[in-house]
Amino acid sequence: MAAGGWRRLPVVGRIWLVTDCCGLVCAGMTWGLVAFGLYAFLVLFFIPAQWSVSLFIDTILFNTFAFLAVMSHFKAMTSDPGVCPKIELTPESVRDAKTRPDQVIYKCQKCKSIKPERAHHCSVCGKCIMKMDHHCPWVNNCVGEANQKFFVLFCFYIMMMSGYALFMAIKKRSCALR
């Protein structure tokens, strides 16, 4: 497979994977940063502190956000973003694609295929994606109609992890100043 291609892996049903080396490195770095956040939490907050109910709750919440972030990242990375089916440009396919008489039929210049409205061609994946937002190297996939939910959840959980870490750092600092 050429660089920037994609594969469906038969290992676990229908897993989508973009085989772009840079994207795979960025996705690995993302998981490494989440792992470093967990390590820093353990070293800075959990290990040196005395056991308390508040520490237990902090640990459960932070680890939950980290777990959900990794799961959302995995789903965003391995889900089909909404690839348009490749349809040859023939008079029959144009007639079938028109749902309204005034509808404009778009043709992808790269795929040479009919593409629906709001679909865009991704130069990294080499496919037309429905409602494509962007190709995210950190997720190593396009963010499109079918996986946008997982991408937004990933961003939300990372924001919650960061906010909670900031909250715990401020709480620890204010306790140390007393």
For 119, phi then psi, to 5°, come to -100, 145
Token pair in block for residue 133: 């937002």
136 catalytic residue (yes or no): yes
Active-site pick, 84, 125, 128, 136 = 136
The CA dihedral of 92, 6, 16, 22, to the nearest 10 degrees, is -140
> Tokens 């967990």 identify what position?
38
In the chain, alpha helices (H): 21-41, 53-78, 91-97, 148-177
Q: Torsion angle, CA of 137/138/144/147, rounded to 10 degrees?
A: 150
Point out the residues that are catalytic: 136
